Structure 1
Amino acid sequence: MNKPLADRIRPTELCDVVGQKHLLSPDKALYNMIQNGDIPNLIFYGPSGVGKTTVASIIANKTKRALRKLNGTSASTQDIKDIVAEIGTFSAPNGILLYLDEIQYFNKRQQQSLLEYIENGKITLIASTTENPYFYVYSAILSRSTVFEFKALDCNDVMPAVERGFKFLEKENDIKITYPDEVVKKIALGCGGDVRKALNSVENCYFATPTIDGEKSITIETAEELTQKSAMRYDKDGEEHYDIVSAFQKSMRGSDTNAALHYLARLLEAGDLPSACRRLMVCACEDVGLAYPQIIPIVKAAVDAAMMVGLPEARIPLADAVVLVAESPKSNSAYEAINTAMADVKKGNFGPIPRHLQNKHFDGEDAEIKGQHYVYPHDCPNHWTQQQYLPDKLKNTKYYEYGTNKNEQAHKDYWSRIKGEK
């Protein structure tokens, strides 16, 4: 069986690698390292299908080193020892370049087993990961490596690879392939910046198209049917998930309605309805809050409606709620107040509840003051009276500060009059 198209047409020169100009342009550090053959231990960080493996292969070829590949999901410490055993043999006369894909799946002990070999120079390590290496890679490996971040590719980056794939199949099978420009763009858009996915779609389109009079004419309908549905990357357990939900809430908080709708669309396209609903509710309470407190039941109703009807119709009430949250005045006064109060409690900064607030109706013999002496506010003018509610230790503590919005300022004016402060 033939190797996948992505492997058959893998670039052998840096100039043929799509995208990554921030790393592979002639004036960049990584480019010059590769050209000079002086390769330190490297960590390639970025999404899948953006050229990490390809660049590692080019480095091995340029430096005349034997390329050995392991995957962190399946490799063992013994696999590493077996590779090291090749050093100095005819199979690796110029040394070994170990490409360890998905290093984040290696546990600490497995990563530590690499240290001896990369320190004595017996192997050159290129580790790749789709997760942030500063969170997932052992610090001793990081300190001995140089990290380069590979960026996600956009449609314009991927289109040349798609065209190259069709030309390769045309030459490989000695058959003419025709297609409208829309096919290339559709495949490039649908792969989510993953060249491997794009080339899989190219090959699928080729095999799904009948040969008529010695020619294959690939239609836009075929491309739409065989191309990945989602044009974005999304892993509910990955870093991208947290980036999207963070951007979603920050856009609503920042009152950028268009950006908030964009990130909502990305969440819904990925089918992540729960995250969209949860962040909406949090934002309504945390970021709009007392500036427009009625928004909380309104957003709750929209979330309930979305969960009841499900996707795709859920987009409608959620869009209503997102626009409302983004366009509403903002206040985090209650959010800041509860955070400050909880910080006090966690530090042990509290005391006995005042006697007049306790839920008991008799005093022991040791009580200095007999009787509860609680004053019922509704028996007083304006339903308020001065009395102490906080423990003695916190008697004059203020957690809540009125926000500058119209709603909270109205409350401030009201209580200032009632309490005789103005």
Structure 2
Amino acid sequence: MDLFDDAAGGSVLDPLAVRMRPRSINELVGQDHLTFKGSPLRQLAESDPRGVAGATSVILYGPPGVGKTTIAHAVSHAEGRRFVELSAITAGVKDVREVIENARRDREVRGLTTVLFLDEIHRFSKAQQDALLPAVENRLVVLVAATTENPSFSVIAPLVSRSLVLQLKPLTEEHLRTLVTRAVSDPRGLAGQFELSEEALEYIVSVASGDARRSLTVLEAAAASAKAEKDSGAPVIEERHAAEAAQAAVVRYDRAGDQHYDVISAFIKSIRGSDPDAALHYLARMISAGEDPRFICRRVVISASEDIGMADPNALTVAVSAQTAVERIGMPEGRIPLAQAVVYLALAPKSNASYMGINKALADVKAGKSGEVPPHLRDAHYPGAKGLGHGVGYKYSHDFPHSVSPQQYLPDSLVGTQYYDPTDNGYEKGMAERLAILQQLREPK
């Protein structure tokens, strides 16, 4: 049998982590605090008809690779249930409504209860989550939602109140050892065709950091490497194979790792560099990898002010409008206004003058260059203020030509300091000309 032959009837293309997914709650490693006899989760997953009738929706909250998807599959295996899986990264309200309609038909015609597994529910907008409420409330579907974020903050309150919220714990090193050694011998896994050195086992457990999926991904890549070196006999997976595999197996976009920052950096620099094609490419990579669209929107809004600024003031309006649109319609449709904003920003004239201006001003303030507020600019609305000289001599700008009053605004110690240095780009060129005129009009007479 070849390493990637189907040992247990599944697809030969399935990754090892998928082939080794526990087939029932009893095979689940870890999460003993949720799977003990008589626990709500076990009652939900058991095949007793009472479990179907009294099925309650569940929100599974925990880090990646600890069994959320596995638990969802286990719940669906009860008799009289149909399993449907959606990812909040790619699904929209239309997909949710289609599942609900099919669930209604299956219950009426076939007597089946639909288990809807919704991965990364925190990526659904409020409107998208609202679409689930009637079906959950009427138990038309048993919702098993997975999230890596605290549902109290990322899931709407009505869904939380109608669901059983279960927090999964990171797997221990002993749990991972059990999973890896099982995968080496199990017919669905490497089927006993490989030997795994103790050093390789410990290395895999170490780099997995409590993530079962990652441990099996590294094991699979290490096995392929060991097999490529062995002409005959059972290949031995050594630590060096695991070390090489740990590098090659990092195919995910890690939201907390270097690639996360590399891609967002390239994205922003592509906008700044006026390359809409590159900006769209990196945007697509982030969306496909499951980056939080709210994070992307924040960076787009920042770029609109930092890199475009007064060269095209409308850029900020476009960016904020895209952010609002994404929040209201959610993903995947949110990619459309987001892409529009990214293209607009990339093609817009560029200026960082306002960004540099506030940085210079902050640097002066932090260096102690503050100075006293000129007396004529001080608050004069309270009794006795004028006796202190506050507000005395203030010139109301609207009483002067062009609504510009000739008086000093900066503290004495900073007179003549210029923080805003406009460019000649886009709309800001006109602002530079206007600033020169304003400076003349402000000169005290």
Instruction: Please tell me the TM-score bracket, short chain as reference.
Output: 0.5 to 0.7
Quote the offset at 1:64 in angstroms.
3.1
- Per-residue Cα deviation, 1:279-314 (whole angstroms, up to 9, x for no partner): xxxxxxxxxxxxxxxxxxxxxxxxxxxxxxxxxxxx
Q: Which residue of 2 aligns with 1:263?
A: none
Q: Which residue of 2 aligns with 1:10?
A: 21
Q: Does 1:143 align with 2:161?
A: yes
Find the partner of 2:77 among 55, 61, 76.
61
Q: Which residue of 2 aligns with 1:222?
A: 241
1:280-299 equivalence runs, <5 A: none
- Per-residue Cα deviation, 1:115-172 (whole angstroms, up to 9, x for no partner): 1111222111111111110001011111111100011112111111111111136x76
- Per-residue Cα deviation, 1:13-56 (whole angstroms, up to 9, x for no partner): 21211111111122533223433523201101111111011011
Q: Could you say what secondary structure the match of 2:117 adopts?
A: strand
Contact map agreement 1:190 1:229 (CA 8 A) in 2? no
- Per-residue Cα deviation, 1:62-105 (whole angstroms, up to 9, x for no partner): 24310000011110111112212323349964120101111111
Find the partner of 2:144 among 123, 126, 130.
126
Q: Which residue of 2 aligns with 1:197?
A: 214
Q: Does 1:158 align with 2:176?
A: yes
1:205-220 equivalence runs, <5 A: 205-210=222-227, 211-220=230-239
Q: Which residue of 1 aligns with 2:31?
A: 20
Listed as ranges, the gaps of 5+ residues in structure 2 are 1-11, 258-378, 394-445
Contact map agreement 2:30 2:171 (CA 8 A) in 1? yes
Contact map agreement 1:209 1:216 (CA 8 A) in 2? yes
The alignment's C-alpha RMSD in Å is 3.3
Contact map agreement 1:190 1:228 (CA 8 A) in 2? no
- Name the aligned partner's letter for residue 129 of structure 1: T
- Name the aligned partner's letter for residue 121 of structure 2: I
1:344-363 equivalence runs, <5 A: none
Q: Which has the higher contact order (CA 8 A, sep 6+)?
A: 2
**Structure 2 vs 1, CA of residues 219 and 173 (structure 1 numbering), >3 Å: closer, same or farther?**
closer
Q: Could you say what secondary structure the match of 2:131 adopts?
A: helix
Q: Which residue of 2 aligns with 1:72?
A: 88
Contact map agreement 1:45 1:128 (CA 8 A) in 2? yes
Q: Which residue of 2 aligns with 1:418?
A: none
- Name the aligned partner's letter for residue 172 of structure 2: D
Find the partner of 2:112 among 87, 91, 94.
94
Q: Could you say what secondary structure the match of 1:109 adopts?
A: helix
Q: Does 1:180 align with 2:180?
A: no
**Structure 2 vs 1, CA of residues 214 and 194 (structure 1 numbering), >3 Å: closer, same or farther?**
same
**Structure 2 vs 1, CA of residues 138 and 359 (structure 1 numbering), >3 Å: closer, same or farther?**
closer
**Structure 2 vs 1, CA of residues 63 and 130 (structure 1 numbering), >3 Å: closer, same or farther?**
farther
Contact map agreement 2:59 2:165 (CA 8 A) in 1? yes
Contact map agreement 1:162 1:184 (CA 8 A) in 2? yes
Distance 2:18 2:158 in 1: 33
**Structure 2 vs 1, CA of residues 131 and 10 (structure 1 numbering), >3 Å: closer, same or farther?**
same
Contact map agreement 1:191 1:230 (CA 8 A) in 2? no
TM-score of the two chains, using structure 2 as the length reference: 0.50
1:265-414 equivalence runs, <5 A: none
